[in-house]
Amino acid sequence: MYQSLPTPQMPTPNSFILAAYGTENTFTALDIVRRWLMDHLRNIIEDSQYTKLDHSLNHTDLNPKDKQNYRSCEKIASDAVLNILKNNANMQGTFIYIYLLRLIITVYVQRRTPILTRLKSAWIIVFVCRLWLAWLKKEKFSDRSSTPNDKQKY
């Protein structure tokens, strides 16, 4: 994250991401995931309002480099974590993202899922991702970078 210099029109300028995945800068995809997705989950773990019995998470579950830890993925996508995220208005984006993860587990991993549930869940995933992509293409973002935003390549 970087913050531009203040101007008379904007004494406190907004922060922005200078680079993300696949660029030649010092940021990596893990930096972005760590900063934006994991903060809400880390807040749940550290919040004294919730005990470990409420969410079953610990800090090692949030290690994005541990790609073989499927048990952590199941714990992150559990009903308990989803209920905590759902009840907080500031965590709705994280809730939707983890809910999609939960649906992916239902569709592709769980063997006892009935075929109609698999189809319904798969179409929900496709619909939400297409809706999200359409919104990203339509939305006007204030581009503070030096390169133009080419929405057609997506």
48's CB contacts (< 8 A; 6+ apart) are: none
Q: What is the spatial distance between Cα 20 and Cα 31, in angstroms, rounded to a whole number? A: 8
Is residue 58 within 8 Å of residue 38, measured between CB atoms? no
Element housing 75 (H / E): helix 70-76
pLDDT, one tens digit for every residue, the chain (154 residues): 445 566 677 666 665 544 444 445 565 666 655 565 677 777 777 777 777 777 778 777 777 666 677 888 888 888 988 998 888 888 888 888 889 999 999 999 889 999 999 999 999 999 999 998 898 888 877 655 545 555 555 5
The total of other beta-carbon atoms located within 10 Å of residue 116's CB is 8
| pTM summary value | 0.64
Decide: residue 6, CB within 10 A, 0-12 exposed, 13-18 middle, 19+ buried: exposed
Q: What is the spatial distance between Cα 107 and Cα 120, in angstroms, rounded to a whole number? A: 9
The total of other beta-carbon atoms located within 10 Å of residue 95's CB is 19
